[in-house]
Each structure stands twice: as C-alpha cells, then as structure tokens.
Copies of this chain bind each other. A is one copy, B any other.
C-alpha cells in the first residue's frame, strides 16, 4: 500500500532522444519506465499497467491491446479489434510515427500531462485520434463498412466523432476531447491543437467538399464551431465558443459569436507564435472585449 510519502522519482532521460536511437523506440522505453515506476508505487494499479503496457514488446502492440479493450463490445470482440489494429499499425510506419508525434504533442503542450504513459492510457482524445487513423486507413483501402463501424464505436466510447474519411495530420492534441466532431471532408494539418466540443462541420445536405480545412499549427478553443468548406489559415487561433463561417487568415485570431478578427478584418493583428503549440488561449482578451472590470 502506498504510504503517502513522495513518489520515488526515477531518472527520465531528457528529450530529444540520443541520435543513436529512433524516436519510437525511445518513447516506448520511456513509457515502460514510467509504467514500471507506477506499478511499483501503486500495487492496485500494477495489474492494469502490466496488462496494458509492461507485458507488450512494442508500442504498437500495447496500443492495439488497450484500444481493442476500450472499443470492443458484445458484438465486436476484442480479439477481432486487436488483430485489426495490430495488423494496421504493424504495416504502416506512417501511423506509428504519427502516434509518437501525438504523444510528444500531449506532453509538450498540456501541462496536466505528466508522462507519455499518462497520455497513452488515459487521454481519450489521443486514443480517439489513433483509432481514427486506423479507420481512415481502412477507408482508403475501400473497407468502408468496417471503417464506419469503428467510427461508431469511437463516437460511443469516447464521445469523439471523426468521420473516417477526414484527413488528420500529425502532432495533434485533442485536449479533453469530449464532443469533438470532425466531418467527412475536413482536413486538419500538422501540430494542431483542438479543445473539447469543437465542431468542424458541414453546411447542408448536399454532399461533396463541405467541411473546414485547418492549417498547420492552428489552435481551436473549447466549444468553437467552424462550419463549411472554409480555410483556417496556418497558425491562426480560434477563441473558445466562437462560431466561424468564413475563412480566417494565417496567424490571426478570430473570436466571438459571430466571430470577428482581433484587430479588425481590414488589418487583423498577427501573432508570431504558433498557437497550436504555444496553447495561448486568452492573450487576445484586452483587444476583444470591453468588459474589463
């Protein structure tokens, strides 16, 4: 039983990994070290950590196991999903590299993320995105009914609804993630951070290209609704609760319902940082609202 004293701090090698090691191996080594440390300090969790992490020879198998047990149901058995996930991850270095990039994104951008294993095991946004990557792979292989069934399980279990046709970059952080909806023809660039309740939605019942395109490094605040085949430019920031129906230029900030550009549409203020990475949610406040007490 834990006795309340400080957790023993194991030395964790600092990022980036030594040049001699590839990133995936390095991250996996970290994850196993974290899980081993936690298993030792908390016997009640050791069984969980062994089954999800420590009994596996690779990150791909650990994730396949964990996702399969999260997403299985009485009519879609865990063994079937495990097999499907492991085969997908094993055959696609691109998928595996995106997983690693997402783990790094969570650890770098979310101060509440205490370790790689914390993200791997507990972040529904991370898990939903990885399941989406596999569903998207199936979609591109014309295995659409299976992709849609997987999509449905992710929407039930994680309350994250990403259409399997949507194209998502790497280094993605879905923070908190509940309620995120990303439509069929949406495209999300690299290093994008999206908070919960964000919608990248369509405009009507006509098919075709009808969902937003999100540039690299964009930050989209909680509850923002972005509708239609519009472009959110590289490095732009969308304030929490905003409703955005038209393009947003790169490195600008759109806030409010209806959204307006900070600085005005003629000459919007431009920022230097990459909000999807800096995660600055609120620095625009002085320029936005006259409600300053």
Interface residues of A (CB under 8 A from B): 1-2, 4-7, 38-39, 41-52, 54-55, 57, 61, 65-66, 68-70, 72-80, 82-84, 108-112, 114, 118, 121-124, 141-146, 148-149, 151-152, 155-159, 161, 163, 176, 178-179, 181, 183-184, 195-197, 199, 201-208, 210, 221-223, 225, 227-228, 239-243, 245-247, 249, 254-261, 265, 277-282, 285, 288-293
Contacts and interface: CB of A to CB of B under 8 A. Distances in A.
Contact of A156 (B77, B155, B158, B183): B158
A111 B152 contact: no
A37 to B, nearest CB: 9
A183 B112 contact: yes
A181 to B, nearest CB: 5
Nearest to A266: B293
**Copy total for this chain:** 6
Contacts of A241: 223, 225, 241-243, 257
A261 to B, nearest CB: 6
A203 B282 contact: yes
A159 B205 CA distance: 24
Contacts of A181: 176, 178, 196, 222
Contacts of A108: 205
A292 B68 CA distance: 46
Contacts of A110: 205
Given A202-B111, A292-B246, A156 B157 contact: yes
Nearest to A151: B122
A38 B138 CA distance: 14
